Structure 1
Amino acid sequence: MGKIIAIANQKGGVGKTTTSVNLAASLGVLEKKVLLIDADPQANATSGLGIDVETIEMGTYQLLEHSSKAEETIMKTESPNLDLIPAHIDLVAIEIELVDMDQREYMMARAIRHLKDSYDYILIDCAPSLGLLTLNALTASDSVIIPIQCEYFALEGLGKLLNTIKSVQKIHNQKLDIEGLLLTMFDSRLRLSNQVVDEVQKHFDEMVFDTIIQRNVRLSEAPSYGESIINYDAGSKGAANYLSLAQEIITKNDA
């Protein structure tokens, strides 16, 4: 039985998609069967895995409006053991279309629940908002990873996200857990980066992953080539960081 993990933070630019793509690829390399669901209308996870967004005919939009079965929307990727449900800009419209529907928060949960039998991990790359798309992802998930960048406004908005998670737990999904807080874009030369790490670890203690994702040029370059960091430069610091995170998650969940 697989585990569904949402990667969420309503702040943009914190490393959500970078984490979704590279964690998924790393879990695949470590011989776990992985499905990545792109639930962000910007479709960066889709293009970051080398898929031409303009060619998408079925993806997260059709999955959520239940016009296609989940199996029909799944694509193979170049990454070992990694499948993808892609996104397209038309996903922007789904929030408006879902508003009047009954049980609108459960559309994704219903569509993907049975896929847990086919995968070890299902990761959902969420949009940078706390709208219906992200709510659907949290309602469908067993846990959530929250990326936090090691910069000045790191903790701004975190309280709001944690409150959203609490209300999802209370109303829609009692089993939703926090998989962990992931510190990203760490630069050891900057005092501020070190201060953010200390502050987050002091406030949240065991909720914080041991692995810290460091700033890495290769990590920034990889999406423009449509590749995960594992395919692009397996010897880079970025690849080592995400393989370490994948191993940490596997160890925690196999315990």
Structure 2
Amino acid sequence: MSLILTTAIEKGGTGKTTTVVNLAALMAAEGKRVLVVDMDQQANTTYMLTQHKKAENFYKGHGLVNMFMNFDLGGMDLAPYIHPTNVEGVHIIPSTAQTPRAVHQLDLLADEYKMKNYTFLIHCLANINDDYDYIVIDTPPARDNLTISALFCADEVLIPVRCDNFSLEGFETTLAMILDLETREDVKIDILGVVLTQVERTAAVNLVRQMFEENPEYASVLFKTGIRKGSAVPESTIAAVPVVRYAKKSNPSVDYMQLWNEIKQRLAKKEADE
């Protein structure tokens, strides 16, 4: 059965896409079967893994929104919406130019099935739960029903926080969104951890880390590994190649490798404690 890892924060520019793409590549490098779900209308994750920009309409009719348009509660074949990527072992349900219609489509499904509009993604993914080891979801930087859908079906949530005040605010509103969903649905949504991104040797970065470490609730979920700022990340974005493949010895690449090891350790501990 797949482990569903949702990457989310109600703030743009924090490194969600970079984190999803590089973790998926590292998972696949270990022989794991990985499905990435791109729920962000910017479709940057789709581009990074396939080199197809949404303006090309390469996946028109076979992307995220089409999966919802053809939803069947009785079971459905997701093959038309799952595609190979440039990273061996990683498949993707891509975001397309039609993704902005997905929120409205979820509302239509809610009316048709008399179900909550954030419950349909979990039913879709249930059809391929045994086909992958990991399902990694990239979300939009917004409190909409795509993000809430991704949180609702998550086994674990990973929150990338850029070392600035606005990202801290986004972190807190994301926690509030998770708490609201837990209360509304009487479910437990596990936060796997918080990873600091764009880390530099500055007083501001030290202050952000200190704020997390001095809060007992936050300190328990903060990963020791932070993702250092480096030119290799924007360069790999231009090349549309995960930085762990584009520049293996760069600081960000080394950091993502360390983060993946820390994630595996944390998941193993959780499994042992259950």
The answer to whether residue 210 in structure 2 is matched with residue 198 in structure 1 is: yes
CA RMSD of aligned residues (A): 1.6
Gaps of 5+ in 1: none
Q: Which residue of 1 aligns with 2:30?
A: 30
Gaps of 5+ in 2: 270-274
When structure 1 is superposed on structure 2, of 112-121 and 175-184 the one drifting more is: 112-121
Deviation at 1:173, TM superposition (A): 6.5
Identity of aligned residues (%): 29
Counterpart of 1:212 in structure 2: which amino acid?
A: G
Q: Which residue of 1 aligns with 2:184?
A: 171
1:198 and 1:143, CA in 2 relative to 1: closer, same or farther beyond 3 A? same
Contact 1:63/1:108 (8 A) holds in 2: no
Higher CA-based Rg:
2
The answer to whether residue 155 in structure 2 is matched with residue 142 in structure 1 is: yes
When structure 1 is superposed on structure 2, of 168-177 and 108-117 the one drifting more is: 168-177
Deviations 1:36-71 (A, max 9, x none): 110001100001113313201312111223357322
Counterpart of 1:171 in structure 2: which amino acid?
A: R
Structure 1 counterpart of 2:242, from 220, 228, 237: 228
Contact 2:85/2:92 (8 A) holds in 1: yes
TM-score by length of 2: 0.87
The answer to whether residue 39 in structure 2 is matched with residue 39 in structure 1 is: yes
Q: Which residue of 2 aligns with 1:4?
A: 4
What are the equivalent positions in structure 2 for 1:1-255 lying under 5 Å apart?
1-52=1-52, 53=54, 54=56, 55-57=58-60, 58-67=62-71, 69-100=77-108, 101=110, 102-103=114-115, 104-172=117-185, 174-188=187-201, 190-203=202-215, 204-255=218-269
Counterpart of 1:44 in structure 2: which amino acid?
A: N
SS at match of 2:226: coil
Counterpart of 2:221 in structure 1: which amino acid?
A: M
1:223 and 1:172, CA in 2 relative to 1: closer, same or farther beyond 3 A? farther
Deviation at 1:165, TM superposition (A): 0.3
Counterpart of 1:32 in structure 2: which amino acid?
A: K
Counterpart of 2:59 in structure 1: which amino acid?
A: I
1:6 and 1:140, CA in 2 relative to 1: closer, same or farther beyond 3 A? same
Deviations 1:124-172 (A, max 9, x none): 0000101011111111111211111012333113222111101212223
Partners of 2:59 and 2:256 in 1: CA distance: 28
SS at match of 2:213: helix
1:94 and 1:112, CA in 2 relative to 1: closer, same or farther beyond 3 A? same
Length, aligned pairs only: 254
Partners of 1:51 and 1:110 in 2: CA distance: 29
Counterpart of 2:87 in structure 1: which amino acid?
A: S
Deviation at 1:213, TM superposition (A): 0.6
Counterpart of 2:187 in structure 1: which amino acid?
A: Q
Q: Which residue of 1 aligns with 2:272?
A: none
Partners of 2:128 and 2:186 in 1: CA distance: 18
1:246 and 1:173, CA in 2 relative to 1: closer, same or farther beyond 3 A? farther
Deviation at 1:112, TM superposition (A): 0.4
Deviations 1:78-113 (A, max 9, x none): 213211111112110111232242321111100002
Deviations 1:209-233 (A, max 9, x none): 1211110110121121111112211
